[in-house]
A and B are shown apart, each in its own frame.
Chain A
Amino acid sequence: MTKVTLTVNGKTVSKSVEGRTLLSSLLREDLNLTGTHIGCDTSQCGACVVHVNGEAVKSCTMFAAEADGAEVKTIEGMANADGSLSVIQAAFQEHHGLQCGFCTPGMVMSAAALLKDNPKPSEVEIRAYLEGNLCRCTGYHNIVKAIMAASGQDVPAVAAE
């Protein structure tokens, strides 16, 4: 076991972990932050995306020991300080960007990472960025719409193809 100390959603936490402990297990099982979902555990689906030092990573494909000293942000850290929904979260609600909601934490974390680098992405850029985030329900159109809206752009009906 090794001791790791990291900042999660602004709070410093220290835990003992095995070499094989995944960051997703540390978050979900040791810190009870179960908003980070495990859809596949094979690095394909993106439900487990969190930010490590500001960058989107699949928490099921990173060891907890590698996050020692890092700043981690999960979906639980996305709401505003007063508990109200952040702009991206509110846009997902407003534009019906979720149905079952299983993929949503990863979608929101990926969307936040995209908007940090590219504040006004085109529809094509949004779809390309979400390559590694799979949704079984929505068909993606409303997710794309929500991200367009969250970036302050008009949302024409994104045509179904």
Chain B
Amino acid sequence: MYDFEIQKPGSIADAVSAMSGDDAQALGGGQTLIPTLKQRLASPSTLVSLAGLSEMVGICKDDAGRLCIGGATTHAAVAADGSYAGLSGLASHIGDPAVRNRGTIGGSLANNDPSACYPAAALGSGATIVTNAREIAADDYFLGMFETALNEGEIITEVKFPIPEKSNYQKFVQPASRFALVGVFVAKYADGVRVAVTGASESGVHRWTAAEEALNANFSADAIAGLDAPSGDGMINDLHGSGDYRAHLVKVMTGRAVAAAS
């Protein structure tokens, strides 16, 4: 690693001003950033540590009944919460216990790895990503592999999830990394079903609208069985699986998520 300084601001306001410095970067749980720094793929001069900001840690419900999760809340805390079953289930299968004790929801959404789990939950729930500057709807937030609507220096302070009637996340594990080879998040709300797919597409997490329409008419695994799998064009094609294989998995995992939704 190149050397850098670690700053520990005492408030979100202090963190935002620390982030305005030259080559400053946010440090969440470090579970992605530290391996990146070790490979010298990033060379910040300052890391602004968010883990100790009590304003950004914790889970509660707002007046609209949404689950509000502080941006520096760990995967382990979300896994233990349980008030949104599909979301806690997803968090409980990220990495391993030690990764879940450090990794944070804000770090995962800021990183937007095309195979990460949380982007599927955020998009599949129509969540709102709250930053120090504004609120961003999940539909406008994910812009492609590792790309988001965040501006330079912007910090995810909170994520708000409407709680669905039924939900489930199914992850087909890539056996070496334990990330999703394909993961599908299904959430059934009073005003419609959302289906979000991670791991599959070259343009990152996305909604499978044909499945949403079929499930709006009939929320059952049979409705998915009757659909064609999405096209393999534009799906990730690598040594772990071809685009067509991933497209096939999208259909299989969606059917499983619907069958398991509770």
Contacts and interface: CB of A to CB of B under 8 A. Distances in A.
Contacts of B27: 63
B47 A19 contact: yes
Interface residues of A, number: 26
Given A20-B1, A63-B6, A56 B34 contact: no
Contact of B30 (A42, A49, A63): A63
B97 A61 contact: no
B75 to A, nearest CB: 12
Contacts of B51: 66
Contacts of B35: 42-43, 61
Contacts, number: 71
B4 A58 contact: no
Interface string B66-93: 0000000000100000000000000000
B170 interface: no
Given A20-B37, A63-B30, A57 B101 contact: yes
Interface in B1-22: 1-6, 8
B47 A132 contact: no
A61 B102 contact: yes
B191 interface: no
A110 interface: yes
Q: Return the 7 tightest CB-CB contacts between A and B, nearest first.
A: A132-B96, A131-B96, A20-B1, A19-B6, A55-B101, A65-B6, A19-B4
Interface of A: 2, 18-20, 22, 41-43, 46, 49, 55-58, 61-63, 65-66, 110, 113-114, 129, 131-133
6 contacts: A18-B3, A55-B76, A61-B98, A65-B6, A66-B30, A131-B96
Given A46-B96, A58-B99, A61-B31, 14 more contacts: A41-B38, A55-B101, A56-B97, A56-B98, A57-B101, A61-B30, A61-B99, A62-B30, A63-B30, A66-B6, A66-B51, A110-B97, A110-B98, A132-B98
